[in-house]
Chain A
């Protein structure tokens, strides 16, 4: 009998900066249960007078990291929930959460590959859970991550992605920097487009499983570009993030 999804009160264990505007919040859950990479938790804030705000945040940690979930959250300047996380929450505080949620945008090694992961900004978070689970399982599924950022300083998990990409287990990490590039940058320097997608997916063969996550416009452009390039639509899964948080 499935356990119903209910709200529980998590405790902030740790807060870790990732970039200038992004932090990872480790939440310890009294009723933690193993999630699947790609799932998210809903977070609900309640003011003294009952005013509420609710958002969804993807889980960054793999299910092998038990008892807690890592939520990597970008601070949106005129947002309502993310500024609370960044500016107010400290370790020891409590947050009401509900999850894990989602059965469509999930991957585990048993689903096979090859695997093409495409991210726009903080859309990398659920894909990072997939990569971390892949590494924890010792899988060598041929995988490529294509991630789009404004500048190199916006790259979330930069060092860890570099290490994963250098592990020699069939993972290729490719960044495109759309607004500014460091001197000497030889990588992509434009928004994701058809030719870029074709180049990135060529080594993966003809029939990858594709997961795309990020702002709606990027997700649409990438999905359309892939389908136009011959990837069957049924092999492409997308999750759209809202622009505000």
Chain B
């Protein structure tokens, strides 16, 4: 980066992580205390009495949950670090929700189901290997920081997959479709990495 112009005295809003947490920050990321609201479109407003979550695709029988049924499933608290591809990382975020394992337990998966597409109210989609959604790695969250999840942050419910860049954590999630092939979603089809591991800095298509 020789010769690049530097603005005297500019550091930006981010701050250095405490030394004992530095190893929790993936490469190229900055710690923030904010929770930036980033969006691809208007915030959907979904009344809870019409909200639904569907698991379909390569399953023997699709299942649709109402809001009452979702919150009737056993939930737990999660404290996780999250990293957005726009370079902010937020440590120790607190959520409450249902693990994707418990949701998938409601259906019988076809053996050919290797991937999933998470799809949302408003049209957003993102794709993940099934292997990244199970074994406690992902959950559908409806509370954040002790409060009901706000619409601006993906409420009433969103997918959270902390080990991948946060664009994979689909806001306003309305279902998981199990697929045989990987089907690139909204950003994956326009230059972003298909998998998105922050620890290998897999931000863009072609990143190793």
Contact = CB atoms under 8 A, between A and B. Distances in A.
B36 to A, nearest CB: 10
A106 interface: no
A50 B29 CA distance: 12
Nearest to A43: B7
Q: Please tell me the size bucket of the interface on A.
A: 10 to 19
B12 A80 contact: yes
B7 A96 contact: yes
B7 A46 contact: yes
B14 A51 contact: yes
B7 A45 contact: yes
B8 A94 contact: yes
Contacts of B6: 46-48
A53 interface: yes
A96 B10 CA distance: 12
B1 A50 contact: yes
B5 interface: yes
B7 A95 contact: yes
Contact of A51 (B5, B8, B9, B12): B12
B147 interface: no
B47 to A, nearest CB: 24
B186 interface: no
B9 A88 contact: yes
Contacts of B4: 46, 50
Size category of the B interface is 10 to 19
Interface in B10-35: 10-14, 30
Contacts of B13: 78, 80
Contacts of A47: 6-7, 10-12
A88 B7 CA distance: 10
A157 interface: no
Contacts of A80: 12-13
A51 B16 CA distance: 12
Nearest to B14: A51
A51 B7 CA distance: 10
A84 interface: yes
A78 B35 CA distance: 13
Contacts of B1: 50
A9 interface: yes
B27 to A, nearest CB: 12
A88 B87 CA distance: 24
A53 B12 contact: yes
Contacts of A95: 7
A160 interface: no
Contacts of B7: 45-47, 84, 94-96
A93 interface: yes
Interface string A198-216: 0000000000000000000
Contacts of B8: 88, 93-94
B169 to A, nearest CB: 23
Interface string A13-46: 0000000000000000000000000000000011
B194 to A, nearest CB: 26
A9 B7 CA distance: 10
A94 B5 contact: yes
Contacts of A53: 10, 12
17 contacts: A9-B5, A45-B12, A46-B5, A50-B1, A51-B12, A51-B14, A53-B10, A53-B12, A80-B13, A84-B7, A88-B8, A88-B9, A88-B10, A93-B8, A94-B5, A96-B5, A96-B7
Given A46-B6, A50-B1, A50-B4, 8 more contacts: A45-B10, A47-B11, A47-B12, A48-B6, A53-B12, A80-B12, A93-B8, A96-B7
Interface of A: 9, 45-48, 50-51, 53, 78, 80, 84, 88, 93-96
Interface of B: 1, 4-14, 30, 87
4 residue pairs, one from A and one from B, having the closest CB atoms: A45-B7, A88-B9, A45-B10, A80-B13
